[in-house]
Structures are given as structure tokens and as C-alpha cells.
């Protein structure tokens, strides 16, 4: 029984890591530009495809494909911000959300048009697809452990980046107060563009970690929808919140899948988010703000 | 160009502002009545969809365009309307009872959604409605004893007071009648205190409340009426497609419904109809274009790409939507040759943060 | 019965005490002004009266009815209307519609009647419009009646704010810095209107204001606040020469210079 629970926990945490990463990318964008990026999951999908190409078509080793995909998607993210988002800055939040939804459609459609990609499903070769780890009586899939380990590593890197690097501090500044940041000489628009690039890279990382579970196909981004519950549970606009939220959602899903009747697993995330929205919309780490009249 | 000299309040309150409007809309109605004699079977079928989605579009327009709320889950109300109709017809309940029931059940669900919506705004509301849609879809799938689950349900033709509405023309007239009634009802609402209260909530909740508008009441009312209209659309939709299943009412469907509002032009009744028409016409245009494009482009992804690009283009270049474009064109003709390029330019607003700094 | 009074009102936001033990009474038919340097808590008091924030301490009594704990929209229904310092108009509606919304508390028609737009709805609408036209006449807004509010100049919008509050036919009118952003001519007009509102319409006015000329000209009594507390109350002349008031505005050196 305990073994079962532990194994479920690990599985849940592993899946939760993916949600956490997608939520993280999406919270970064929200903090910087108050935009809700519904295309985050599709950026994850596109990133996974780039990794696939590097790995299968160009035959690169796993770590090289990660770097390649991250770099390419960083550019894609920046281009998206510059071309699609910047012209509509200042419009109400709802319209900007609809634009990102449109971007999602375009990404999904374009992926099916690329020769070699199309609407097929592909497997991304990773060094951890096979293998199990035995810790006493408990068996873990190496895959899951790898996901957790790599996510933790990325979080550490991001933490150091935001804390100690010039660009990271600049990003934090623009997220908190654009005007003040501008007065301090920070090129706000360029920083926002870079935030999109960073966010796309994080999504790519998530996609690569997710690929062994869902395989790579043009609709794999829909899992990204679960990043919204994750971000809400953790507290919108909070980076640690996104991670905690993602882990919680992953855990709840894993447990619901096992202990509850069929079908609950798919809606577990959404039931949780509705409950959170009803009780404490600002989530675990979020702050409530008021309009000043 | 027409100058309106108003001499009594009725002129302000009336639905039609001047005789020119009466003339053109009467002509439109006459043409619409003649449509079954003018169009072939295929186009008639498309007209059915246009009318059905117009009704749904009106519902969503009321909520989003006039009350300023968000819903990414309206397909749930569509589903409730559709399934209520299917289940009631299966039990032999006559149409003139099952249709209002569909509206009522959908409205009840709208009330349920509306209540938590009172405290939620913007993205939170969007996510709540999205979550709601997913849950409703799952409930429909799992509650097989009631809904047939993934096997779906079938519907027969509508029988209204003994007359079987199984021809294209008869179904068309039913849809047309309901669409016109919905439009008139909505317009009546908008020129009354309730409609103004909705608009007030859209533009400034705190101000509206300080003027005595009970936010809770009016927001839930807006959700309920919006859901009711969508439910009616759902019932008609069910009869149109004659077979309903949970996968027709997904989040993607909800997003398509929202695009009706955006493409048509937020905050206008014309927009709901224009948006619906555009949504039906677009796939036809894409299908035609497919013959001229290379094979890998003309695959299943083309529709998604075009849809996404259209959505983005409209928001970036034509934020007032199709109705806005129509207004601009008409104004150009009316003012010829004095039309100024910047006439409809929006005030450039700098990002007004909703967060308290 | 007292018309309007505030007893020991207080509110804190986290550790900041914005309003501390403020009490005052407004008599029916007078123009009562609250003055004070920035940050004194004047607009906060308005927000407390309007039940936008719940008070941490004290109570507000209007016509012997305690407002504590009421739902926010009830304030307007009781006959208290307000304008906002930073203008909260309905931007995507016409001026006429803005004013009509101001009359929301006077509606008597039900939803079903409105959907069908029965004769009673039509008659109610005409009555509403007649009432609103009076306000338009008073404030000279006829020229802007059918214009969208978004895009109108600031001075006009301030007048529309006032008009919307007047349209509700309130017993007590809360004006939050009515002259801010207005040039001397517009401020003059505002003074006329406030006098008109008091004498012609019989509405009691509670005002927050910075412009001392306007304050002296229209106010019957003045309350001076500083850092959330009351420091003086009396006629405009009394308050303006009160040493504590001078100190709050100009600092201690000014008091000794005046003495």
C-alpha cells in the first residue's frame, strides 16, 4: 500500500514537474506584461518538434538537442513578442488572450504543414526511456526520476539567474514596475521580448521532458492547458507558486487516477482549480490587489 | 447625408432611428423570408448554421460585449440545451415545452456559473469557465445512462403543434423567427435600465455599484440570459445535426464561439450575426482554396492556420470587427469625399495595470 | 434626527492607519467641505462612506440609519451619490447613457417587461429622460448628449461626473475634488453649480477640496484633516486661520511667522 502510494507520488511529481515548467513560463510572461499566453502549450509542442528534428534528422546527442531546441525557441518566442504582441500592448487583457489563442492555432496548423512533421506522432529518443531504479521495495522509472532531477536543476539555474545576473534582475524590475525600471535605464521593451524568449525556452524544456510520456505530435500542447490550474493554485504571478501549483496538480491527478473512478483523472485539475477559485482565488502565494479609486 | 432632428423622446427610444433604417431592415427581412426560394439545398444548410450560431453569438455578445465578462466555456451551455432537447423529445415532450426547457436548464447552469463569477475577473473568470466546460463535457461523457455517453443521442425532426418541420424551409423559418425574436428582445433589454446596468458593469464596476447597480444580481442575470440564448441555440443545433455527442462541445468549440464575438465586433448586435456568418463561411472558403495550394499545405492544418491568422489579424488591424469595418465603409460613402482617415482611430491607451502597484 | 454623521471612523491598511478617530456631522442643506494636505485621508473617508472599504472602527449614520455592513450598492439606493477624483465614467457609452445609469435607483420595471418593452417600460423611459434632461440643461451638456465619453476633454468629463451624480436625485452629494484639473473659468462655473445645487435643488453637499477660494466661497463649514486625524472644524475663515491647519500645510516655521 505504501509502496503504491510512493510510486504514485513519484509519478505525480514527475508529471507535475512538466506542468510546473509550463506554468512557470507562462507566469514569467504574465509578470512581465500582464499577458496570459494561451499558446504556451503549443510553444512547448513546437520546441519538442525542434528537438525531434535535431535528434532524429540530424542525429545529435540528447543534450545537444536540448540546447538547440531551447536556442531556436528562444528566438521564436522573441519574434512572437515583437511581431504579434507588441502592436496590441495596451488593449484589454481579453483581446490579448485571444491573440495568443490565435497564435496557438497557427502553431498547431503550421506544424502539420512542415514536411517531415505533419500530423504524425513521433518518439523522441532519450537516454532514460528504459530502465527502472530500485530503492528498496519501491520501483521508480528512470524516466520519472530524470524529469524531477532535470526540473530541479533548471529551477536552480533560473533562481541563480534571477538573483544574480544583470538581465535576471532587470527582468524582475520590469515585472514589478515598468515605469520605474525605465527610469533606471532598463530597456523595458527589449527586456519583455527577452522574457518571451526565456519563457519559450522553458516551455521547450518542458516539452522535451514530456515527450517520452505523450510522444511528439501537433496536439501535445493541449496538456499545457493544465498549466492554468497549476498557475492559479500556486498563485498567479508567483514564480515559486507556479512550481508548487504544478506539483500539486500532478499529484492530485496521479492519486485521482488510481483511487477514483474512471474519468476523474482528466477533470481532477479542473475541479481543483474551481475549488481554489471559489475559496482563495489568489492561490497559495498570490497577492490580492485592489483597484484604487 | 442624413441629419436627425429630434423633437420627442420617442425618437431616442425607438428601435429604428429614422425611416431609412426601417426601409433597409424591412428589405432585409423580405429577402430573408424569400431565401428558401432563392438558395439551393447546400446553401440553405449553411444558412441554418448561420442562424443557429447567430443566436448563440447574441448570447455570448450580451455577456462579453455588453456586460464585459469572459466565458471560455459557452459550449457547456450549448451542450445543456442540445441534450435537454434530445432527452425531452425522446420522452415525447412537445417542442413548445422542450425548447423553453432547454433555455431554462441552460439558464440555471448559467446561474451556477455566474455565482462564483461574481468574485472573479479577467483571467480568473476565463479559467473558471474553461474548467467548467471541461467538467461538464466529462459529466456528459460519464453519465451514460442519461446521455448515452460517447455513443451520443439521435434526434428526430421537430414537431410543432402537429406540423412536422422536416423540410429545409420549415426549419429555416423556425430558426429565422427565433433569431429575430432574440435580436428584438436583446435590443429591448439594451434600451432599458437592465441593459444600461450591464454596460455600466462592463465599463466600471465600482462606479456602477456606486450608482446603485447590484453587481451580483446583474452579473448573474447576464450569465443566465446569455446561457438561455445559447441553450436555445443548442436545441436548434441538436436538431440540425440530428446526432449529438460530447466531443462536439469541447473547449475548442467554446473558443470558436468567442471568435464570433471578436470577429463580428465586440459590443454590437450586428456583430453577433456577422461573426456567425463569417465563422460558417470561412471553412467553405478554405475548402475552395485548398484546390489551389500544394498538398502538404492543404492538409488538416490549413484550417487551423487560417483561423488563427484571421483571429490575430482582426484583433490587430480591425479591433472593431466586421461591424466596425462595415461602419467605416458606410461612413466613407456617406461623407464622400470628406472622409478623414483617422475618424475611427481608437484613443491609444497605455497599459493600465489592473494590479495595484 | 441627524441628517448625516460620522462617528469615530477609522481604517487601517495593514500597518498604515489611514483614518483615525474621525467624527463630524453634516446638517441638512449645508455645504460641508473637508480639506487637508495630500495623504490626509480625505478620499479614503469618501470611500468609507461609500462602503467601498469596510471601516475598521466607528460608524456612519445617514438619516438615523447605520450604514455599517450594508451591501455596497445600497448606498446609492439610500440617496447618497458621489463623484470620483479620478473620473470613473462609463467610457464606451454616450453621455446620455451615463446620466441615465445614474438614475438606476429610480427604475421600477421588471426584466420581463423590459424584454417585451411594454408600454409601462416606454413610459418609464420617457420619465427617466425628462429627469435627465433637467440635469443636462443645468450643466450645459446638451452639445455632448450623444457623444461617447471616451475622447471628451477632461473638463467636460468632470461635469459629466457631476451630472451623473445629480441625475440620481440624491439627498447627499459627495464631491471628490470637483475643481481639480479645471481652469479658473471652469472652477467658477463649478462654484455656481454647487451653489445652485444647494439652494435650487436643496441637496446637501459634502465636498473634498484643495482650492481654498472655492472652499471659502461655497462652504458653510469646513473640516481640516491631517494624517488621518481631525485637526480643526468651523467656518472657512476660522479653519483657514487655525494654527494647526497652517502648520499642517506649511510647516511649523509658518506658524511662528504668522504669530
Residues A64-82: tens digit of each pLDDT: 889 999 999 999 999 999 9
CA dist A189 and A171 (Å) reads: 11
Chain A segment 274-293 residues within 8 A of C by beta carbon are 293
Q: Which residue of A has its CA nearest to C86?
A: A293
Q: At a CB cut-off of 8 Å and minimum separation 6, what does B42 contact?
A: none
The three cell numbers locating residue B70: 469572459
Per-residue cell: C248: 499642517
Q: In the predicted model, is pLDDT for residue B17 greater than 80?
A: no
Contact indicator for A249, A233 with CB cutoff of 8 Å: yes
Scanning B168-227 for CB atoms below 8 A from A yields 206
Which cell numbers hold the place of C170? 440624491
Which pLDDT belongs to residue A288? 63
pLDDT band at B350; cut points 50, 70, 90: very low
Looking at beta carbons, which residues of chain C come within 8 Å of A293? 43, 47, 52, 84-86, 88
Average pLDDT, chain B: 87
Q: Which of A30, A271, A260 is nearest to B130 (CA)?
A: A271
Contacting residues of A for B351, CB less than 8 Å apart: 33-34, 89-90, 178
List chains touching C (3+ CB pairs under 8 A): A, B
Give me the residues paired with residue C13 across strands.
Answer: C16
Residue B347's Cβ-count burial label (10 Å; 0-12, 13-18, 19+) is: exposed
Q: Can you give the pLDDT at residue B347? A: 54
**C-alpha cell of B25?**
431592415
**Grid cell 480639506 — which residue?**
C35
Confidence of residue B296 (pLDDT cuts 50, 70, 90): low
Q: Which residues of C touch A (CB under 8 A)?
A: 43, 47, 52, 84-86, 88
Give pLDDT < 70 ranges for chain A. Answer: 90, 129, 287-293
d(CA B167, CA B27): 25
Average pLDDT (B289-310) is 81
Q: Which long-range contacts (CB under 8 A, 24 or more apart) does C194-202 make?
A: C194/C31, C194/C218, C196/C138, C197/C166, C197/C173, C198/C29, C198/C30, C198/C31, C201/C166, C202/C29
Q: What is the pLDDT of residue B164?
A: 79
DSSP B175-209: HHHHHHHHHHHHHHHHTSHHHHHHHHHHH-HHHHH
Strand ranges inside chain B, DSSP E? 153-154, 158-160, 163-165, 243-244
In chain B, which residue's Cα lies nearest the Cα of C164? B211
CB-count exposure of residue A82 (10 Å: 0-12, 13-18, 19+): middle
What pLDDT score was predicted for residue B356? 37
**Cβ contact (<8 Å) for B311 and A105?**
yes
CA A217 to chain CA mean position, Å: 17
Chain A residue closest to C52 (CA)? A293
What are C57's strand-pairing partners? C10
Q: Which residues of B touch A107 (CB under 8 A)?
A: 308
**Chain A neighbors (3+ CB pairs < 8 Å):** B, C
- The greatest distance separating any two alpha carbons of chain C, rounded to the nearest whole angstrom, comes to 72
Long-range interactions of A134-141: CB distance < 8 A, separation 24+: A137/A3, A138/A3, A138/A6, A138/A7, A139/A7, A140/A7, A140/A10, A141/A11
Dig out the grid coordinates for C222 from the structure: 469646513
**CB-based contact B50:B276 (threshold 8 Å):** yes
SS3 C174: strand
pLDDT at C255 (0 to 100) = 55
- What pLDDT sits at residue C256? 57
Q: Is the Cβ pair B193, C84 closer than 8 Å? A: no
Phi, psi at residue A160, to the nearest 5°? -65, -40
What's the rounded Cα separation, in Å, for the pair A194 and A173?
Answer: 13
User: Looking up cell 443566465, which residue turns up?
Assistant: B224
Number of H helices, E strands in chain A: 11, 2
Q: Please tell me whether residue C87 adopts helix, strand or coil conformation.
A: coil
Interface ipTM: 0.90
- Could you tell me which residues come within 8 angstroms of residue C255 by beta carbon, excluding any fewer than 6 positions away? C243, C246, C247
* Cα B83 to the center of its chain, rounded Å: 19
B339 has pLDDT over 80 = no
Please give the DSSP secondary-structure letter assigned to residue C94: B
Å from C11 to nearest chain A CA? 15
Which chains sit next to B, with 3 or more Cβ pairs under 8 A?
A: A, C
- Which residues lie across from B163 on neighbouring strands? B160
Mutation for C interface: A288, A289, A293, most C CBs within 10 A: A293
CB contact under 8 A, B213 and C101: yes
Nearest-CB residue to A105 (from B122, B304, B351): B304
* B241 vs B49: CA distance, rounded Å: 10
Q: Is residue B349's pLDDT more than 90? A: no
Evaluate whether A208 touches A147 at the Cβ level (below 8 Å): no
Contact state of C101 with B196 under an 8 Å Cβ cutoff: yes
**A56-64, long-range: CB < 8 A, 24+ apart:** A56/A122, A56/A125, A57/A116, A62/A125, A62/A126, A62/A127
**First CA to last CA distance, chain A:** 56
Do C90 and B193 count as a contact with CB atoms less than 8 A apart? no
Report how far residue A43's alpha carbon sits from residue C238's, in angstroms, rounded to the nearest whole number. Answer: 68
Q: What is the pLDDT of residue C220?
A: 94
Distance CA B38, CA B35 (A): 5
Give residue-wise pLDDT tens across range B157-201: 777 777 777 888 889 999 999 999 999 999 999 999 999 999 999
Place of cell 463649478: C190
* Number of C-beta neighbours around residue B270 at 10 A: 17
Distance in angstroms (rounded) separating the CA atoms of residues A59 and C160: 69
Task: List the single residue in B124, B258, B348 with the smallest CB-CB distance to A90.
Answer: B348
Q: Which of residues 239-268 of A touch C (CB under 8 A)?
A: none
What pLDDT score does A86 carry?
83
The helix or strand, by DSSP H or E, that contains position A148, with its residue range, turns out to be: helix A142-164
Low-confidence stretches of chain C (pLDDT < 50) are none
A95 contact residues in C (CB cutoff 8 A): none
Residue recorded with cell 450623444: C146
Amino acid at each position: 500500500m505504501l509502496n503504491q502510494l510512493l510510486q504514485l507520488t513519484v509519478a505525480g511529481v514527475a508529471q507535475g514537474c512538466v506542468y510546473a515548467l509550463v506554468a512557470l513560463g507562462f507566469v514569467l510572461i504574465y509578470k512581465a506584461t500582464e499577458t496570459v499566453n494561451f499558446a504556451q502549450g503549443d510553444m512547448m509542442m513546437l520546441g519538442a518538434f525542434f528537438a525531434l528534428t535535431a535528434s532524429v534528422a540530424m542525429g545529435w546527442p540528447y543534450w545537444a538537442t536540448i540546447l538547440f531546441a531551447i536556442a531556436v525557441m528562444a528566438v521564436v518566442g522573441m519574434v512572437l513578442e515583437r511581431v504579434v504582441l507588441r502592436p496590441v500592448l495596451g488593449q484589454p487583457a481579453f483581446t490579448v488572450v485571444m491573440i495568443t489563442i490565435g497564435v496557438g492555432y497557427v502553431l498547431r496548423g503550421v506544424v502539420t504543414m512542415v514536411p517531415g512533421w505533419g500530423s504524425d506522432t513521433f518518439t523522441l529518443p532519450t537516454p532514460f526511456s528504459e530502465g527502472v531504479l530500485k530503492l528498496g521495495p519501491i520501483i521508480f522509472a528512470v524516466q520519472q526520476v530524470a524529469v524531477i532531477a532535470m526540473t530541479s536543476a533548471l529551477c536552480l539555474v533560473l533562481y541563480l539567474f534571477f538573483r544574480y545576473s544583470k538581465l535576471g534582475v532587470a527582468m524582475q524590475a520590469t515585472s514589478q514596475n515598468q515605469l520605474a525600471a525605465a527610469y533606471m535605464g532598463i530597456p523595458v521593451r527589449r527586456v519583455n521580448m527577452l522574457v518571451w524568449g526565456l519563457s519559450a525556452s522553458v516551455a521547450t524544456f518542458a516539452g522535451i521532458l514530456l515527450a517520452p510520456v505523450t510522444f511528439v505530435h501537433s496536439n501535445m500542447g493541449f496538456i499545457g492547458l493544465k498549466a492554468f490550474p497549476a498557475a492559479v493554485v500556486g498563485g498567479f504571478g508567483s514564480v515559486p507558486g507556479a512550481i508548487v501549483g504544478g506539483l500539486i496538480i500532478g499529484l492530485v491527478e496521479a492519486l485521482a487516477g488510481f483511487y477514483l473512478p474512471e474519468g476523474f483523472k482528466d477533470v481532477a485539475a479542473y475541479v481543483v482549480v474551481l475549488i481554489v477559485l471559489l475559496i482563495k482565488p489568489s492561490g497559495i502565494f498570490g497577492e490580492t490587489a485592489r483597484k484604487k479609486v | 447625408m442624413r441629419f436627425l432632428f429630434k423633437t420627442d423622446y420617442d425618437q431616442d427610444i425607438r428601435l429604428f432611428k429614422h425611416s431609412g433604417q426601417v426601409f433597409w431592415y424591412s428589405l432585409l427581412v423580405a429577402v430573408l423570408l424569400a431565401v428558401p426560394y432563392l438558395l439551393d439545398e447546400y446553401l440553405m444548410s449553411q444558412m441554418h448554421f448561420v442562424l443557429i450560431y447567430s443566436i448563440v453569438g447574441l448570447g455570448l455578445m450580451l455577456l462579453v460585449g455588453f456586460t464585459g465578462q469572459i466565458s471560455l466555456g459557452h459550449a457547456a451551455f450549448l451542450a445543456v440545451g442540445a441534450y435537454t432537447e434530445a432527452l425531452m423529445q425522446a420522452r415525447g415532450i412537445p417542442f413548445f415545452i422542450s425548447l423553453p426547457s432547454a433555455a431554462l436548464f441552460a439558464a440555471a447552469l448559467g446561474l451556477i456559473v455566474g455565482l462564483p463569477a461574481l468574485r472573479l475577473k479577467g483571467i480568473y473568470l476565463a479559467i473558471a469557465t474553461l474548467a467548467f466546460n471541461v467538467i461538464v463535457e466529462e459529466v456528459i461523457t460519464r453519465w451514460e445512462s442519461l446521455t448515452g455517453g460517447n455513443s451520443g443521442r439521435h434526434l428526430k425532426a421537430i414537431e410543432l403543434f402537429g406540423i412536422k418541420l422536416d423540410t429545409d424551409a420549415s426549419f429555416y423559418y423556425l430558426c429565422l423567427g427565433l433569431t429575430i425574436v432574440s435580436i428584438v428582445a436583446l435590443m429591448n433589454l439594451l434600451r432599458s435600465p437592465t441593459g444600461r446596468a450591464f454596460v455600466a458593469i462592463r465599463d466600471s464596476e465600482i462606479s456602477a455599484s456606486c450608482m446603485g447597480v447590484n453587481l451580483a444580481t446583474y452579473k448573474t442575470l447576464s450569465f443566465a440570459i446569455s446561457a438561455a440564448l445559447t441553450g436555445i441555440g443548442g436545441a436548434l443545433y441538436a436538431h440540425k445535426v440530428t446526432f449529438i455527442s460530447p466531443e462536439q462541445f469541447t473547449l475548442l468549440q467554446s473558443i470558436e464561439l468567442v471568435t464570433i464575438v471578436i470577429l463580428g465586433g465586440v459590443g454590437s448586435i450586428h456583430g453577433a450575426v456577422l461573426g456567425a456568418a463569417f465563422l460558417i463561411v470561412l471553412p467553405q472558403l478554405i475548402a475552395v482554396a485548398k484546390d489551389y495550394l500544394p498538398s502538404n499545405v492543404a492538409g488538416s492544418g490549413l484550417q487551423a492556420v487560417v483561423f488563427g491568422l484571421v483571429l490575430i489579424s482582426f484583433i490587430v488591424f480591425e479591433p472593431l470587427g466586421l461591424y466596425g469595418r462595415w461602419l467605416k465603409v458606410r461612413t466613407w460613402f456617406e461623407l464622400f469625399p470628406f472622409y478623414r482617415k483617422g475618424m475611427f482611430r481608437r484613443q491609444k491607451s497605455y497599459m493600465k495595470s489592473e494590479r495595484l502597484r | 434626527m441627524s441628517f448625516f454623521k460620522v462617528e469615530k471612523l477609522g481604517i487601517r491598511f495593514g500597518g498604515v492607519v489611514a483614518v483615525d478617530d474621525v467624527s463630524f456631522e453634516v446638517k441638512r442643506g449645508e455645504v460641508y467641505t473637508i480639506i487637508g494636505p495630500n495623504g490626509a485621508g480625505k478620499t479614503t473617508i469618501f470611500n468609507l462612506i461609500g462602503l467601498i472599504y469596510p471601516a475598521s472602527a466607528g460608524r456612519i449614520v445617514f438619516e438615523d440609519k447605520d450604514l455599517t455592513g450594508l451591501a455596497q450598492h445600497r448606498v446609492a439606493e439610500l440617496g447618497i451619490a458621489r463623484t470620483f477624483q479620478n473620473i470613473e465614467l462609463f467610457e464606451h457609452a454616450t453621455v446620455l447613457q451615463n446620466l441615465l445609469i445614474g438614475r438606476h435607483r429610480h427604475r421600477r420595471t421588471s426584466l420581463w417587461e423590459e424584454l417585451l418593452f411594454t408600454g409601462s417600460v416606454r413610459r418609464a423611459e420617457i420619465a427617466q429622460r425628462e429627469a435627465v434632461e433637467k440635469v443636462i440643461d443645468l450643466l450645459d451638456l446638451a452639445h455632448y448628449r450623444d457623444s461617447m465619453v471616451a475622447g471628451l476633454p477632461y473638463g467636460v468629463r468632470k461635469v459629466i461626473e457631476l451630472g451623473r451624480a445629480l441625475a440620481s436625485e440624491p439627498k447627499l452629494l459627495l464631491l471628490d475634488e470637483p475643481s481639480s484639473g479645471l481652469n479658473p473659468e471652469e472652477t467658477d462655473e463649478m462654484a455656481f453649480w454647487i451653489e445652485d445645487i444647494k439652494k435650487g435643488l436643496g441637496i446637501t453637499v459634502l465636498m473634498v477640496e484643495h482650492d481654498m477660494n472655492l472652499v471659502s466661497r461655497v462652504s458653510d463649514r469646513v473640516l481640516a484633516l491631517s494624517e488621518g486625524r481631525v485637526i480643526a472644524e468651523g467656518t472657512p475663515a476660522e479653519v483657514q486661520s487655525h494654527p494647526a491647519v497652517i502648520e499642517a500645510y506649511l510647516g511649523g516655521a509658518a506658524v511662528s511667522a504668522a504669530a
